[in-house]
Amino acid sequence: PMDYQVLIVGGGFSGSEAAYALACRGVRVGLLTQSLDTVYLPFTPLPEPGPEGSLMAEVGAVGMKGWELHAKAKYRLEGEPQLHLFQSSATRLVLEGRRVVGVETWEGPRRMASRVVLALGSFLMPRLTIGDVVEEAGRLSEAAYPDLYENLLALGFSFVDQHAEVAAQDGTPGYSVRYKSFAPAEWEAESFRLGRLEGLYGLGLCVLGQGTYARMASEGLRLAENFAVELG
């Protein structure tokens, strides 16, 4: 039995935006993310307005600080009856032949869905460098675990190297993150499919490699639009 029509892994900008837009259209969505305290949390105050019709536009404003945006967005996500936001780490895809039917989690339970969307951001094999310290983290103080990346590698997916810098701000020193994104040939931009497997989709930074918060929100809305049409 399926737990959700759509299961989204990663509660960043793209994944949250897609989950919210789908739930508002009546689709039953699971939004699984490894830390509820970093849902919809930017690295810097919001630099530009969110796209029309987005959660970013609904709760955000230019210059809004990270924690305020996070708190407001999370409140909306949790208030959406068709959306189940929960904390868990996805470690492996559950397969039936070449079809993805859910994910395994580090905590134990499998979460099943007819469509699985990976919205993993900068958390595929990241290395964060701050001063002399190197951590396995996709952002400051948010650890990344290698399991899902290793599973994707074993399934034959290929990746490319990416790099982003965060400037020093408010007494926090600057830092940089190296991470992987899916190789361009793995992802079909029009349909969001990660074509190597059925029922698997990629969204946001983990397939685009680079981009802004507003772009990630737009991509989330675009995925929701596509899925809503396909799911009737």
Q: Provide the minimum distance between the beta carbon of 166 and ligand FAD in the complex, in angstroms, as a whole number.
A: 5
Residue whose CB is less far from ligand FAD, 34 or 218: 34
First vs last Cα of the chain: how many Å apart? 20
Residue whose CB is less far from ligand FAD, 11 or 60: 11
Residue whose CB is less far from ligand FAD, 32 or 194: 32
User: Distance of alpha carbon 32 from its chain centroid, rounded?
Assistant: 9
Q: Provide the minimum distance between the beta carbon of 12 and ligand FAD in the complex, in angstroms, as a whole number.
A: 2
Phi, psi of 188 (to 5 degrees): -105, 110
Q: Provide the minimum distance between the beta carbon of 158 and ligand FAD in the complex, in angstroms, as a whole number.
A: 18
Structure tokens at 123: 């958390």
The site for ligand FAD (CB under 6 A) is made up of 9-15, 32-35, 38, 43-44, 47, 89-90, 119-123, 138, 142, 148, 164, 166, 177, 204-205, 211-213, 216
DSSP E strand stretches across 119-171: 127-130, 133-135, 137-139, 142-143, 159-166
Q: Provide the minimum distance between the beta carbon of 19 and ligand FAD in the complex, in angstroms, as a whole number.
A: 11
Residue whose CB is less far from ligand FAD, 35 or 232: 35
DSSP state letters, 172-183: BPPEEEEEEEE-
Q: What does the alpha-carbon distance between residue 91 and residue 71 come to, in Å, rounded to a whole number?
A: 27
